[in-house]
Amino acid sequence: MKRPLAALLLALAAAPTTATAASAIEEGKKLAFSVTKGNCLACHMIIGGEAFGNLAPPLIAMSQRYPDKKQLHKQIYDATVANPETTMPPFGRHKILSDAEIGKIVEYVWSL
């Protein structure tokens, strides 16, 4: 009996807390809205954003559009892989954003 309980406790300790997830989403939102970092609003409509662009698709229902967060991460890291004609900057490949920053933006965008 101790063994399943210990496994459960280890799993709970390793799982991100709701507060941690909320913090990553909030940090991702700040990065996405920042004109010096993600600047997603320059091209995308995002609910809650001001003065957004209309050059790119609105960022809504993102967990349905990207059921796998890894695919969303790849899209933000370098959208030219999937679409060489895209105007979306390759944020990771050009080191506009770090991998950690992209991860936070993924958390935020995926929550939309």
Nearest-angstrom CA–CA distance, 66 and 77? 14
Res. 104 pLDDT band, cuts 50 70 90: very high
Helices (H), the chain: 2-14, 18-33, 62-65, 69-77, 99-110
| Listed range (11-25, 51-65, 77-91) with the worst mean pLDDT | 11-25
Radius of gyration of the chain from its Cα atoms, rounded to whole angstroms: 17
Check pLDDT > 60 for residue 73: yes
CA separation for the pair 54, 110 (Å, rounded): 19
Q: Compute the mean pLDDT over every residue in the chain, rounded to the nearest whole number.
A: 88
Work out the average pLDDT over 33-39: 94
| Predicted local confidence at residue 7, as pLDDT | 57
So what's the pLDDT on residue 1? 44
H helix or E strand, kind and range, residue 36? none
Predicted TM-score (pTM) of the model is 0.80
In the chain, the domains with their CATH numbers are 19-110 (1.10.760.10)
pLDDT higher than 50, residue 60: yes
